[in-house]
RNA sequence: GCGAGAGUGGCGGAAUGGCAGACGCGCCGGACUUAGGAUCCGGUGGGCAACCGUGAGGGUUCAAAUCCCUCCUCUCGCACCA
């Protein structure tokens, strides 16, 4: 009667597979439930983070299936990307081979976990059958003006030989893959997607998501989109030709603008310097700032520095001639790359003005006084107030002043209200081989020409000799690169950049609905039937990029009539990280547990190893547990159960070997209890109408537990408390006398109890439940059974416990009939001897009766 | 600095205004046993007790881990965004 998961799990995985129980037909015949976990990058083997996220998703999928839903629960592979190339460089293998081998291995690992996927829908994004469609999307976007080409300064890693997103640059200005390589800036022609056109909708769409998405993710997205309201104002150049436009959120302070600051990268900076004969010193400054690494450049502590460019412009309302500086704190990518400087009301400008002795003019006075003077100020005043030194606008509240001045500028045609976003258009070009080719042909005569739709897909040539050299092998693949221009027929060259891999992950959830369609990317009919995703589960690390890009794609495809609704993911669960204690040797750094002896010393040097705080599992910190080893030792059911039991899904999970033992022990307890009673259970008759007291007590426990477990999973997503309720029920059954299992009076109730446990536990630990279900003589598979309904009548207690407080302190507990009236309970409480000890001879000031719960008596 | 979340036994965590510490781990004791690091049963916040206990202090309430105010600590996100 030993619980041996190794003998159980493979058998049931095969049976599920053979019966196709998790296959989801296209046609929706029951309430649909689309359950999706973020698909994995095939890095080689799954890690504990995968175990956790896929276990959570599977619990919900299995639960919803038993609740009568038709569940779509797919999986696939986010298969393009840099690590494949890096691995190829390191091991001399081809990225495609490496990727497909990893997929094969990880697929087996997921199957060993018993995750209930519809494997028929599986795909990898690196196959042309998938990526051909995103090439088509790109052509549509070109036509719709949503995709465009622009010269841009981008982060470049010499080691990767490619462009990096800002997020791929470490804080210290090094590459996120190569910690030692500094990232430099390069100017390149790049493809962009106009995501900013959807900025407002991406923000307002949060209304629809509120409640279904965690608030912190929405907050992160709000920051990311970074909406701010203000005005654009044109400052004429003092020379008389043209003007410089700035963006400001404080048009009310325009009269106080005493100089202008520009990003050092701004092309006008060197023009002004040239005209003023200041080229040398300005160039020196610009080069120095450009060479500074990101950490320094963007830290708030960095001293404000700048240099006079030699140029002047005119404050459009005061007519004053103001100098134009290049300043290290102005960002070229945001707004117009130039800002009007109002030192009295902006701290950065204030520090700058002090340093370079530029004039400070107060134009907003705090309420109740004219206290502020330029000379006496120690810092800028950024608060609200009344406008001064602002000509016709004097005396206005500055908030009104914002509107008035903006209106004034609009009338004169030299300014306009403007909403600015921090969100930038999405640069999608990567100088990489292992990605989806961008379907464009460059022609010396016609420029960048889209590949005609009929010529799609542009297949990534996988038969290239993949060399260990740096750079993009595509550029050297002459046969592939040289093609005639689709427009003029002359010699053309294929675009050798590939898409950012977020392109693939921006629509994969739609493709799962129609994964084998070879005539179109999606079938709008099926989309209507299956979208949106009812539950999406994934890590917080994708809060901004992936989730915003996916929302953007969905909105674009909606506008083209392909995707229904405004938002692709109705509910989002962002699971916490899997953490484990770290071990650190003072000499050798992070240690694996096996590198430390029993006495807590480093096996290499004998030094005492420090047990550090629990941190996210990572190979670099050597605090990882291998899922395969875990499954081999304890079985998938234990791994799953522990993942769900150790903490609620959205919180971090502290991995604990002993906790895993506990989960395993519990499953063993369930197994032994039910296997030992197998015969008695098989022989038990059906539940009869009349029941003895003992049977009623058993059924009460069953239905109470059922009610709690159902609510915990369905309404609260508190899987850990659902498990603990099942544990309590199992503990209860262990105390039931042997004779009761044999007795015809109680065995039907016990059989119901056992069946209910197996049904409730099956989404958590599906294999052992199937095995026991069969052992007690039931037909069919437990995963296909209906979730039982809790019988309220059965769950109700005849007697209830009421606690009695006197002056707020617990003094007694009384049992009362469940039907007892408030009056009766009050009388019982007052008559209780333990209560009377505290109330006798005192005056009762107040008495509160909470039905079925408590009596609170206040005496003096 | 701004924003969000969190702080409860030796540990993971329960309790969302009504018995603080469910359940699990660990620990202690017992049973079975040649043996037990298997299994089963029992105990386990502190204090001899009155009582005291949910980061600290105040408040609301018959009643506060839970609501309000002030503060501390930690985690995450954003951070010169004009």
Question: What nucleotide is nearest A338 when CA is compared to C1'?
Answer: B82
In the structure, how far is the CA atom of residue A734 from the C1' atom of nucleotide B42, in angstroms? 14
Report the sign of the C-alpha dihedral through residues A792, A795, A800, A804, in that order: negative
Question: What nucleotide is nearest A297 when CA is compared to C1'?
Answer: B80
Percentage of the residues of chain A whose pLDDT score is greater than 90: 65
Cβ A654 vs Cβ A26: under 8 Å: no
Q: Judge whether residue A761 has pLDDT over 90.
A: yes
Helix, strand or coil, per DSSP, at residue A31: coil
What pLDDT score was predicted for residue A171? 61
How many whole angstroms separate alpha carbon A683 and alpha carbon A698?
A: 18
In the structure, how far is the CA atom of residue A597 from the C1' atom of nucleotide B77, in angstroms? 39
Lowest mean per-residue pLDDT among A131-140, A453-462, A789-798: A789-798
- Which phi and psi angles does A236 have, rounded to 5°? -65, 145
How many whole angstroms separate alpha carbon A260 and alpha carbon A272?
A: 13
CB neighbour list of residue A541: distance below 8 Å, 6 or more residues apart: none
How many whole angstroms separate alpha carbon A277 and alpha carbon A271?
A: 10
In the structure, how far is the CA atom of residue A808 from the C1' atom of nucleotide B68, in angstroms? 21
Helix, strand or coil, per DSSP, at residue A24: coil
Residue at the smallest CA–C1' distance to nucleotide B74: A613
> The tokens of A359 are what?
């004039």
Q: Which helix (H) or strand (E) is A71 found in, with range?
A: strand A70-72
Helices (H) and strands (E) in chain A, counts: 31, 31
Beta strands in A649-735 (DSSP E): 653-654
pLDDT digits (tens, 9 = 90+) for A831-859: 888 888 888 888 888 889 988 888 999 98
In the structure, how far is the CA atom of residue A443 from the C1' atom of nucleotide B54, in angstroms? 71
How many whole angstroms separate alpha carbon A273 and alpha carbon A278?
A: 5
> Dmax of chain A from CA atoms?
109
- Which phi and psi angles does A803 have, rounded to 5°? -95, 150
> The tokens of A703 are what?
């239905």
Question: What nucleotide is nearest A657 when CA is compared to C1'?
Answer: B25
Q: Which residue has the higher pLDDT, A156 or A514?
A: A514
In the structure, how far is the CA atom of residue A148 from the C1' atom of nucleotide B78, in angstroms? 29
Cβ A295 vs Cβ A375: under 8 Å: no
What pLDDT score was predicted for residue A299? 66
The whole model's pTM is what?
A: 0.93
Question: What nucleotide is nearest A215 when CA is compared to C1'?
Answer: B4
Residue at the smallest CA–C1' distance to nucleotide B25: A659
In the structure, how far is the CA atom of residue A837 from the C1' atom of nucleotide B51, in angstroms? 17
Helix, strand or coil, per DSSP, at residue A524: helix
Confidence grade of residue A309 (pLDDT, cut at 50, 70, 90): very high
Lowest mean per-residue pLDDT among A225-234, A347-356, A464-473: A464-473
Cβ A859 vs Cβ A844: under 8 Å: yes
Question: What nucleotide is nearest A543 when CA is compared to C1'?
Answer: B77
How many whole angstroms separate alpha carbon A439 and alpha carbon A449?
A: 9
Residue at the smallest CA–C1' distance to nucleotide B15: A721
Residue at the smallest CA–C1' distance to nucleotide B3: A219
In the structure, how far is the CA atom of residue A712 from the C1' atom of nucleotide B55, in angstroms? 29
What pLDDT score was predicted for residue A611? 80
Q: What is the mean pLDDT of residues A300-313?
A: 86
Question: What nucleotide is nearest A230 when CA is compared to C1'?
Answer: B82
pLDDT digits (tens, 9 = 90+) for A779-836: 999 999 999 999 988 888 778 888 899 888 888 888 888 888 888 888 888 888 888 8
Q: Which nucleotides along chain B are within 7 A of a protein C-beta?
A: 3-5, 11-15, 18-20, 22-26, 38-42, 51-52, 62-64, 76-82
What pLDDT score was predicted for residue A243? 94
Q: Which helix (H) or strand (E) is A476 found in, with range?
A: helix A473-476
| Mean pLDDT score of chain A | 91
Measured CA distances, A431 to A81, A85, A271, A499, A528 (Å): 11, 12, 32, 9, 37
Q: What is the mean pLDDT of residues A37-50?
A: 94
In the structure, how far is the CA atom of residue A344 from the C1' atom of nucleotide B27, in angstroms? 66
Report the sign of the C-alpha dihedral through residues A74, A119, A40, A79, in that order: negative
What pLDDT score was predicted for residue A470? 64
What pLDDT score was predicted for residue A83? 87
Question: What nucleotide is nearest A672 when CA is compared to C1'?
Answer: B39
Q: What is the mean pLDDT of residues A9-25?
A: 96
DSSP assignment of A162-173 equals EEE-GGGB-TTS
What pLDDT score was predicted for residue A157? 81
In the structure, how far is the CA atom of residue A361 from the C1' atom of nucleotide B11, in angstroms? 61
pLDDT digits (tens, 9 = 90+) for A563-586: 999 999 999 999 999 998 888 888
Confidence grade of residue A297 (pLDDT, cut at 50, 70, 90): low
Q: What is the mean pLDDT of residues A322-342?
A: 92
CA dihedral A585, A590, A592, A594 (to 10 degrees): -10
In the structure, how far is the CA atom of residue A296 from the C1' atom of nucleotide B75, in angstroms? 25
In the structure, how far is the CA atom of residue A257 from the C1' atom of nucleotide B79, in angstroms? 25
Q: Judge whether residue A175 has pLDDT over 80.
A: no
What pLDDT score was predicted for residue A159? 78
Lowest mean per-residue pLDDT among A79-83, A491-495, A615-619, A625-629: A615-619
Question: What nucleotide is nearest A422 when CA is compared to C1'?
Answer: B81
- Which phi and psi angles does A612 have, rounded to 5°? -85, 180
Question: What nucleotide is nearest A854 when CA is compared to C1'?
Answer: B18
In the structure, how far is the CA atom of residue A113 from the C1' atom of nucleotide B38, in angstroms? 26
In the structure, how far is the CA atom of residue A115 from the C1' atom of nucleotide B7, in angstroms? 35
How many whole angstroms separate alpha carbon A321 and alpha carbon A332?
A: 23
Residue at the smallest CA–C1' distance to nucleotide B78: A223
How many whole angstroms separate alpha carbon A721 and alpha carbon A733?
A: 19
Confidence grade of residue A153 (pLDDT, cut at 50, 70, 90): confident
In the structure, how far is the CA atom of residue A613 from the C1' atom of nucleotide B56, in angstroms? 24
Q: Which residue has the higher pLDDT, A531 or A471?
A: A531
Measured CA distances, A676 to A208, A366, A565, A672, A746 (Å): 52, 81, 53, 6, 17
Measured CA distances, A206 to A113, A561, A664 (Å): 35, 22, 42
What pLDDT score was predicted for residue A341? 95
In the structure, how far is the CA atom of residue A669 from the C1' atom of nucleotide B34, in angstroms? 26
* Count of Cβ atoms closer than 10 Å to residue A228 Cβ: 13
Q: Judge whether residue A503 has pLDDT over 70.
A: yes
Lowest mean per-residue pLDDT among A200-204, A466-470, A856-860: A466-470
pLDDT digits (tens, 9 = 90+) for A617-642: 888 888 889 999 999 999 999 999 99
Residue at the smallest CA–C1' distance to nucleotide B23: A724
pLDDT digits (tens, 9 = 90+) for A99-126: 999 999 999 999 999 999 999 999 999 9
What pLDDT score was predicted for residue A166? 67
pLDDT digits (tens, 9 = 90+) for A381-406: 888 889 999 999 999 999 999 999 99
Confidence grade of residue A768 (pLDDT, cut at 50, 70, 90): very high
Confidence grade of residue A89 (pLDDT, cut at 50, 70, 90): confident
In the structure, how far is the CA atom of residue A722 from the C1' atom of nucleotide B8, in angstroms? 21
Residue at token pair 């690992």: A109
Question: What nucleotide is nearest A653 when CA is compared to C1'?
Answer: B12
- Cis check for the bond before A302: say yes or no (omega within 30 of 0): no
CB neighbour list of residue A467: distance below 8 Å, 6 or more residues apart: A473
Check if the interface score ipTM surpasses 0.85: yes
Residue at the smallest CA–C1' distance to nucleotide B77: A220
In the structure, how far is the CA atom of residue A617 from the C1' atom of nucleotide B9, in angstroms? 27
Closest C-alpha among A302, A300, A405 to residue A363: A405
DSSP assignment of A340-391 equals EE-GGG-HHHHHHHHHHT------EEPSS-----TTT-SS---S--EE-S-G
pLDDT digits (tens, 9 = 90+) for A554-564: 999 999 999 99
How many whole angstroms separate alpha carbon A435 and alpha carbon A41?
A: 13
In the structure, how far is the CA atom of residue A761 from the C1' atom of nucleotide B63, in angstroms? 37
Cβ A130 vs Cβ A654: under 8 Å: no
Question: What nucleotide is nearest A305 when CA is compared to C1'?
Answer: B80
Question: What nucleotide is nearest A346 when CA is compared to C1'?
Answer: B82
Residue at the smallest CA–C1' distance to nucleotide B24: A662
By DSSP bridging, strand A498-499 and strand A429-430 are antiparallel
Cβ A756 vs Cβ A708: under 8 Å: no
pLDDT digits (tens, 9 = 90+) for A257-274: 999 999 998 999 999 999
Question: What nucleotide is nearest A250 when CA is compared to C1'?
Answer: B82
Question: What nucleotide is nearest A331 when CA is compared to C1'?
Answer: B81
What is the 3-state secondary structure of A432-461? CCCCCECCEEEECCCEEEECCHHHCCCCCC
What is the 3-state secondary structure of A289-322? HHHCCHHHHHCCCCCCCEEEEEEEEECCCCCCEE
Question: What nucleotide is nearest A800 when CA is compared to C1'?
Answer: B19
In the structure, how far is the CA atom of residue A809 from the C1' atom of nucleotide B47, in angstroms? 18
Percentage of the residues of chain A whose pLDDT score is greater than 70: 96
In the structure, how far is the CA atom of residue A807 from the C1' atom of nucleotide B64, in angstroms? 15
Question: What nucleotide is nearest A228 when CA is compared to C1'?
Answer: B81
What pLDDT score was predicted for residue A553? 96
CA dihedral A36, A41, A43, A45 (to 10 degrees): 10
* Of A16-20, A207-211, A837-841, highest mean pLDDT: A16-20
Q: What is the mean pLDDT of residues A589-618?
A: 83
How many whole angstroms separate alpha carbon A437 and alpha carbon A430?
A: 10
What is the 3-state secondary structure of A807-840? CCEEEEEEEEECCCCHHHHHHHHHHCHHHHHHHC
How many whole angstroms separate alpha carbon A843 and alpha carbon A237?
A: 87
In the structure, how far is the CA atom of residue A822 from the C1' atom of nucleotide B50, in angstroms? 33
């Amino acid at each position: 009667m030993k619980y041996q998961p190794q003998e159980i799990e493979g058998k049931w995985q095969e049976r599920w597979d053979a019966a196709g129980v998790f296959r989801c037909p296209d046609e929706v015949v029951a309430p649909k439930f689309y359950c999706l976990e973020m698909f994995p990058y095939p890095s080689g083997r799954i890690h504990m983070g995968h175990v956790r996220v896929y276990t959570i998703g599977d619990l919900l999928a299995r639960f919803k299936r038993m609740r009568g839903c038709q569940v779509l629960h797919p999986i696939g592979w986010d298969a393009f990307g840099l690590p494949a190339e890096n691995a190829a460089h390191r091991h001399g293998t081809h990225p495609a081979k490496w990727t497909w081998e990893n997929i094969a291995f990880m697929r087996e690992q997921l199957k060993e976990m018993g995750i209930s996927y519809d494997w028929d829908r599986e795909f990898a994004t690196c196959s042309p059958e998938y990526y051909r469609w995103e090439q088509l999307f790109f052509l549509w976007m070109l036509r719709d003006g949503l995709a465009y080409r622009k010269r841009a300064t981008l982060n470049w890693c010499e080691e990767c030989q490619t462009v990096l997103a800002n997020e791929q640059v470490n804080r210290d200005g090094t590459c996120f893959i190569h910690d030692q390589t500094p990232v430099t800036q390069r100017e390149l022609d790049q493809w962009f997607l106009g995501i900013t056109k959807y900025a407002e909708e991406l923000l307002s769409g949060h209304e629809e998501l509120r409640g279904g998405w965690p608030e912190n993710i929405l907050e992160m997205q709000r920051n990311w989109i970074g909406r701010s309201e203000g005005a654009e104002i044109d400052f004429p150049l003092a020379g008389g030709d043209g003007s410089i436009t700035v963006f400001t959120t404080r048009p009310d302070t325009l009269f106080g603008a005493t100089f202008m600051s520009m990003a050092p990268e701004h092309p006008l900076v060197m023009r002004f310097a040239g005209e003023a004969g200041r080229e040398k010193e300005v160039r020196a400054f610009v080069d120095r700032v450009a060479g500074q690494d990101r950490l320094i450049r963007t830290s708030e502590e960095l001293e404000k520095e700048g240099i006079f460019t030699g140029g002047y412009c005119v404050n459009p309302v005061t007519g004053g001639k103001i100098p134009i500086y290049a300043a290290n704190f102005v960002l070229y990518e945001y707004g117009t790359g130039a800002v009007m400087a109002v030192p009295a009301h902006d701290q950065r400008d204030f520090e700058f003005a002090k340093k370079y002795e530029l004039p400070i003019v107060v134009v907003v006075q705090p309420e109740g006084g004219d206290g502020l003077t330029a000379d006496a100020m120690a810092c800028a005043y950024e608060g609200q107030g009344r406008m001064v030194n602002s000509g016709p606008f004097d005396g206005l509240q500055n908030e009104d002043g914002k509107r008035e001045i903006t209106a004034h500028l609009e009338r004169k045609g030299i300014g306009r209200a403007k909403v600015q976003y921090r969100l930038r258009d999405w640069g999608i070009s990567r100088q990489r081989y292992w990605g989806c080719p961008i379907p464009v042909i460059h022609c010396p005569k016609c420029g960048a020409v889209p590949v005609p739709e009929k010529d799609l897909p542009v297949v990534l040539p996988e038969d290239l000799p993949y060399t260990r050299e740096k750079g993009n092998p595509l550029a050297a693949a002459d046969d592939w690169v040289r093609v005639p221009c689709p427009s003029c027929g002359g010699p053309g060259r294929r675009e050798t950049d590939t898409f950012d891999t977020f392109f693939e992950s921006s629509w994969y959830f739609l493709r799962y609905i129609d994964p084998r369609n070879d005539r179109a990317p999606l079938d709008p009919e099926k989309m209507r039937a299956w979208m949106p995703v009812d539950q999406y589960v994934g890590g917080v690390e994708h809060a901004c990029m992936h989730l915003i890009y996916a929302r953007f794609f969905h909105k674009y495809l909606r506008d083209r009539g392909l995707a229904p609704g405004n938002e692709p993911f109705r509910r989002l669960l962002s699971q916490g990280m899997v953490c484990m204690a770290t071990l650190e040797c003072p000499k050798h750094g992070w240690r694996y547990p096996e590198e430390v002896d029993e006495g807590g010393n480093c096996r290499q040097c004998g030094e005492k190893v420090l047990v550090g705080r629990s941190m996210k599992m990572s190979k670099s910190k050597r605090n990882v547990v291998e899922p395969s080893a875990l499954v081999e030792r304890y079985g998938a059911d234990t791994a799953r159960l522990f993942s769900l039991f150790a903490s609620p899904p959205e919180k971090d999970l502290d991995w604990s070997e002993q906790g895993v033992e506990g989960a395993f022990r519990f499953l063993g307890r369930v197994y032994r209890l039910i296997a030992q009673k197998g015969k008695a259970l098989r022989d038990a008759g059906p539940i009869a109408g009349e029941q003895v007291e003992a049977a009623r007590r058993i059924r009460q426990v069953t239905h109470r537990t059922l009610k709690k477990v159902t609510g915990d999973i369905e309404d609260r997503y508190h899987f850990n408390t659902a498990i603990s309720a099942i544990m309590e029920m199992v503990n209860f059954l262990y105390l039931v006398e042997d004779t009761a299992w044999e007795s015809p009076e109680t065995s039907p109730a016990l059989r119901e109890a056992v069946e209910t446990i197996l049904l409730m536990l099956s989404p958590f630990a599906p294999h052992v439940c199937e095995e026991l279900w069969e052992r007690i003589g039931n037909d069919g598979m437990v995963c296909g059974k209906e979730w039982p309904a809790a019988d309220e009548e059965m769950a109700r207690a005849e007697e209830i416990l009421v606690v009695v407080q006197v002056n707020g302190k617990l003094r007694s507990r009384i049992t009362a009939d469940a039907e007892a009236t408030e009056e009766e309970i009050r009388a019982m409480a007052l008559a209780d001897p333990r209560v009377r000890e505290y109330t006798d001879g005192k005056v009762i000031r107040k008495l509160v009766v909470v039905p079925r719960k408590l009596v609170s008596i206040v005496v003096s």
